[in-house]
Structures are given as structure tokens and as C-alpha cells.
């Protein structure tokens, strides 16, 4: 069966080599198209979620809080407050009379109960409609309780997930500039856009510490309010997952004059260049670069034999990837190439025009590039290009499995660290484990011997 695209979606799909490169992106999702994206609230929630000593109160009816309760692999080395789900649980009466009283009561009660270091209040769709003055309630509670209480303007319909990132960045930015900077050295950084999935922030932090670079704060993996309040003391912002946190880096550059760089910690190539770039930034201390070189060499040597083993089986296999931000796609393409695999489909929910231009350069002829895809489009291309592997999140998993294709979860729900050098080995192991599984031999599309002669 030929699967056709919706007309309005045609300009968001491009096959490398087939026509002049012109792609639409950064658009609102098409009604009825079944986008894989979520909403503004999701963007904010995903960025702030890992701050473990803050109260995250979702102001609205129950759904938004319930669906984001303890769903991520973001680990904390201490408090676990972020893993609870708090909601004002608005009912019909509140919709009529307003939810401010409940919001105030909820904040007062929960702050007394959990003694958080700060509170984030997420506005959901109807809060914007019923006209609650969330800002005023937050101010009042902040004054009464003596902790920062930050409104996050994340009404689901007011834009896309990216606008949610911005709202979260605003809240984070409001936390900075409050802390005491004693003890922060000249060779210090903030790690931005690293969410400590499966302990990834710890892996990355360890690299920096071994290099002799001080990490002032991680935003937001294993995050602490106190560290974020001191973030303005760092000498450099190192931004991963650029879609979500570049905006904060820019705000901090403007206010505090902190320069920033974009990096990725996925794949040997990208993690190495991230570390070298940071070391290079501190050229006044050549010992940092020396240590970095030694460390990278040591780490690479440690994982190479394992990677070679996996690569032997994986070489020539075809991979499809569909991720949130395009920057992750760049790294994954390189990492997959390292495993000898070909990328036949690369897409993202929120890529920009510049992102897709880079993606196009990275991809081979014939690779399909998609923006804000849906299940039908993803199915179409994994079938047409005969993928052996799909990299995505939970929503993409059944698309792969139903069609007899291996799957690697590279989203926030996963529990395995895939960042850093050790993460590359984990990634290779996971990809190998799924692609080489014997189960595919029994699946209808790939059954051997018994069907189709």
C-alpha cells in the first residue's frame, strides 16, 4: 500500500539529493496530523523536572500532573522531591470562581510539608483562560515563606514545546544571581541542558573534574536550587540539548557576560570535542588541556575493543532516528556511523532551518529528513528504506516493533546512560542487543524460510 503525505506536510519532508533543499519547520503542528510533539507545558516540565529540591506544582486539572509523575530516568543524589506529582487538581467550581485560593493554599501547605528550596508553579491551559493571577500568588507566597516561588507560564496552547523551554529558562534565569560566589574559580562552568538521565550528568561532571574544571551547576540534572542561584559565578556556559537551553545561555550572557558554547556528549567524536573545546576555553591553564588529552585517550582506549565487537555485527545495518531536538540527531548520526550503520531517516520535533541544513550535510544521499513527523510518515519511511533500527522515544517504539524493527530508547524515560564514553559503549550494546535479537526472524515482515518461499 502506497502511503501518501498530507499536502500541508509535504514541505516538512526532504529526501537528500532529490530536489533543491527547502524545508519548512518551526511551524505549529497541523491539526489532525497526530504530531509526536507535546505542548508548551511539556517543554517547561521537561527542563525543570530534575531539580530535586524544588517543589513542582502543576496548576490545573489533574491530567498534566498525572502524566508527568515520576516518568523520567533523571536521577538525584539526594532529595527526591522532583519525583512526586503535585497538582492543584482544579474542579468545575474553580473554573467558575478561579483557582487562586487553591493555588495559594496548595503552595502554603506543600512548602510547610516538604521544605523545598524553591517552588515552580506551572500554569496549564485553563489557567490562562480563567485569568488566575499566578504571578501575584507566587509573589505573596514567596514573601511569606521566604523562598523563591517562580511562575512558569506554560499554558499548553500558547505556542509549541519550544515556548515551554523558554518559559522554563525564564524561571531558571530568575533563580540565578542570588547566591554567594565564594569558592568559585576562574576555571568553572555551568552544564546546561543535561538532565542526568541514568546518571549522565555524573559521568560528564566527573570528566570535567578530572580535567580540573569546576562545575558550578548542572541545569538541571541532579539539580539543586542553591547551585543554580550561584550559576552566574561560572566562567563559561556549556550548553547541551541546545534547543532547550540556548535561550538561558543567551540571557546569562546578556546579564552576566558569561560566554557559552554548544556541545553534545553523545558519541566518541562529540564528547571528545566537547571536552577539548572547554579545555581550549581555559587556555590560560595549559594543564587542563594536558589532562583532557590524557583522559580522552584513556577513555577511548577503554571502550574501543567493545565497540569494535559490536561494529562487526552492525556494519551495514540501516537506522532511522526521530528525536526531540535536532542537535541530538547530529550526534546520533556520527555515533551510528562509528558503528558502521547507515542512517536512512533522520527527524526531529523541533529543529530549526539551520539545524536541518546541518543535518542535510551530515546525511548520505537518499536519507529522508523530517520535521514534526507523525506515525504514518515514520512508518512509511522505515518500511520504504527497510530500517533495522529505530531510535526514538516511547511513542515511536510501537511503530518499530509492529513492523519488526529493533528499537533504542534515546528519550527521557530511559534508565541507561548513553552520554559520555561509557555511554557510547552502552549505546552500542543496546543497539546491538536489539538489532541482533533472534526474535525478528519470527516476525511477519522478516520471517525466514517459512513464508514467501
Taking CB under 8 A as the criterion, which residues in 389-418 touch another protein?
Answer: 393-395, 397-399, 401-404
Helix (H, G, I), strand (E, B) or coil at 236: strand
Q: Using CB under 8 A, which residues numbered 332 to 391 contact another protein?
A: 374-376, 379-380, 383
- Contact stretch for another protein (CB under 8 A) within 34-42, 273-281, 289-297, 355-363: 34-42
Side-chain-side CA neighbours of residue 274 (13 Å): 26
The yes or no reply on residue 181 touching another protein (CB under 8 A) is: no
Q: CA separation (Å) from 258 to 176, 179, 188, 189, 204?
A: 12, 16, 11, 10, 20
Nearer to another protein, 198 or 267 (CB): 198
Which of positions 268-297 make contact with another protein (CB under 8 A)? none
Which residue, 37 or 385, has its beta carbon nearer to another protein?
37
Minimum CB–partner distance for residue 127 and another protein (Å):
10
Choice between 103 and 307, CB closer to another protein: 103
Our CB check for another protein shows the closer of 357 and 394 to be 394
Helix axes of 420-435 and 326-338: crossing angle, nearest 10 degrees: 70
State which residue, 87 or 426, has the beta carbon closest to another protein: 87
Figure out which of the listed residues 19, 20, 22, 32 binds another protein, where binding follows CB under 8 A. Answer: 32
Tell me whether residue 99 or residue 199 sits nearer to another protein (CB atom). 99
Question: Between 40 and 219, whose beta carbon lies closer to another protein?
Answer: 40
Q: How far is the CB of 38 from another protein (least distance, A)?
A: 4
24 binds another protein (CB under 8 A): no
Cα–Cα dist 438/180, whole Å: 57
Residue 147 found at the interface with another protein (CB under 8 A): no
144 in contact with another protein (CB under 8 A): no
Q: What interhelical angle do 268-281 and 326-338 show, nearest 10?
A: 120
Residues 4-23 that bind another protein (CB under 8 A): 6, 8
Residue 299's nearest CA partner among 266, 268, 278 is: 268
Q: Which is nearer to another protein, 67 or 276 (CB)?
A: 67
Please give the sequence-ordered ranges of beta strands (E in DSSP) within 282-382, or none if there are none: 318-323, 342-348, 368-371
* Residue 34 or 357 having the CB closest to another protein: 34
Closest CA relative to residue 120, chosen from 142, 144, 99: 142
The C-alpha cell that represents 258 in the structure block = 558569561
Beta strands in 337-439 (DSSP E): 342-348, 368-371, 389-392, 406-409
- Candidate list 116, 128, 198, 417; residue touching another protein; CB under 8 A: 128
Q: Can you read off the three cell numbers belonging to residue 96?
A: 467558575
C-alpha cell at 170: 525564564
Is residue 410 a contact partner of residue 392, using CB atoms and an 8 Å limit?
Answer: yes
The set of cell numbers assigned to 278 is 572547554
| Distance of closest approach, residue 356 Cβ to another protein, in angstroms | 21
Q: How many residues bind another protein (CB under 8 A)?
A: 80
Residues 58-77 that bind another protein (CB under 8 A): 60-70
Ramachandran region of residue 424, left (φ > 0), alpha (ψ -120 to 50) or beta?
A: alpha
Question: Closest CB to another protein among 105 and 315?
Answer: 105
Q: Taking CB under 8 A as the criterion, which residues in 155-174 touch another protein? A: 156-160
Among 13, 33, 197, 425, the residue binding another protein under the rule CB under 8 A is 33
Calpha distance 229→236 (Å, rounded): 15
- Site residues for another protein, 91-110, by CB under 8 A, read 91-95, 97, 101-102, 105-106, 109-110
Query: Which cell numbers hold the place of 171?
Result: 524561571
What pairing do the DSSP bridges indicate for beta strands 118-123 and 368-371? unpaired
* Residue 278 neighbours by CB under 8 Å, 6+ apart: 189, 208, 211, 213, 236, 238, 261, 263, 292
If binding is defined by CB under 8 A, does position 28 make contact with another protein?
A: yes
Amino acid at each position: 500500500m502506497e502511503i501518501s503525505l498530507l499536502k500541508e506536510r509535504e514541505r516538512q519532508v526532504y529526501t537528500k539529493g532529490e530536489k533543491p533543499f527547502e524545508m519548512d519547520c518551526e511551524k505549529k503542528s497541523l491539526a489532525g496530523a497526530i504530531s509526536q510533539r507535546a505542548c508548551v507545558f511539556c517543554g517547561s516540565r521537561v527542563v525543570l523536572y530534575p531539580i530535586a529540591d524544588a517543589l513542582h506544582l502543576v496548576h490545573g486539572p489533574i491530567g498534566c500532573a498525572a502524566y508527568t509523575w515520576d516518568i523520567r530516568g533523571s536521577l538525584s543524589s539526594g532529595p527526591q522531591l522532583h519525583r512526586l506529582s503535585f497538582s492543584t487538581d482544579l474542579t468545575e467550581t474553580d473554573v467558575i470562581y478561579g483557582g487562586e485560593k487553591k493555588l495559594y493554599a496548595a503552595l502554603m501547605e506543600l512548602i510547610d510539608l516538604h521544605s523545598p528550596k524553591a517552588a515552580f508553579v506551572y500554569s496549564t491551559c485553563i489557567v490562562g483562560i480563567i485569568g488566575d493571577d499566578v504571578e501575584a500568588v507566587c509573589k505573596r507566597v514567596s514573601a511569606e515563606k521566604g523562598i523563591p516561588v517562580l511562575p512558569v507560564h506554560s499554558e499548553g496552547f500558547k505556542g509549541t514545546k519550544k515556548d515551554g523551554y523558554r518559559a522554563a529558562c525564564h524561571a531558571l534565569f530568575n533563580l540565578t544571581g542570588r547566591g554567594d560566589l565564594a569558592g568559585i574559580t576562574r576555571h568553572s562552568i555551568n552544564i546546561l541542558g543535561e538532565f542526568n538521565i541514568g546518571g549522565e550528568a555524573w559521568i560528564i561532571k566527573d570528566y570535567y573534574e578530572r580535567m580540573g574544571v569546576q562545575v558550578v551547576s548542572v541545569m538541571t540534572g541532579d539539580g539543586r536550587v542553591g547551585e543554580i542561584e550561584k550559576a552566574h559565578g561560572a566562567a563559561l556556559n556549556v550548553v547541551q540539548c541546545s534547543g532547550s537551553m540556548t535561550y538561558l545561555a543567551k540571557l546569562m550572557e546578556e546579564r552576566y557576560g558569561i560566554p557559552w558554547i554548544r556541545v553534545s556528549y553523545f558519541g566518541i567524536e562529540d564528547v571528545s570535542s566537547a571536552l577539548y573545546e572547554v579545555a581550549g576555553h581555559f587556555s590560560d591553564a595549559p594543564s587542563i588541556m594536558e589532562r583532557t588529552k590524557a583522559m580522552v585517550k584513556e577513555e577511548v582506549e577503554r571502550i574501543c575493543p567493545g565497540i569494535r565487537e559490536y561494529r562487526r555485527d552492525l556494519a551495514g545495518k540501516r537506522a532511522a532516528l526521530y528525536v526531540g531536538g535536532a542537535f541530538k540527531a547530529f550526534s546520533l548520526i556520527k555515533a551510528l556511523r562509528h558503528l558502521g550503520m547507515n542512517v536512512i531517516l533522520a527527524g526531529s520535533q523541533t529543529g530549526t532551518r539551520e539545524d536541518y541544513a546541518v543535518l542535510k550535510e551530515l546525511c548520505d544521499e537518499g536519507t529522508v529528513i523530517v520535521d514534526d513527523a507523525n506515525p504514518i510518515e515514520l512508518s512509511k519511511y522505515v518500511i520504504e528504506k527497510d530500517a533495522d533500527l529505530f531510535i526514538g522515544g516511547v511513542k515511536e517504539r510501537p511503530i518499530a516493533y509492529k513492523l519488526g524493527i529493533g528499537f533504542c530508547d534515546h528519550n527521557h524515560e530511559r534508565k541507561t546512560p548513553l552520554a559520555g564514553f561509557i555511554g557510547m559503549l552502552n549505546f552500542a550494546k543496546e543497539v546491538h542487543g536489539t538489532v541482533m535479537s533472534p526474535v525478528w526472524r519470527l516476525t511477519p515482515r522478516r520471517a525466514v524460510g517459512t513464508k514467501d518461499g
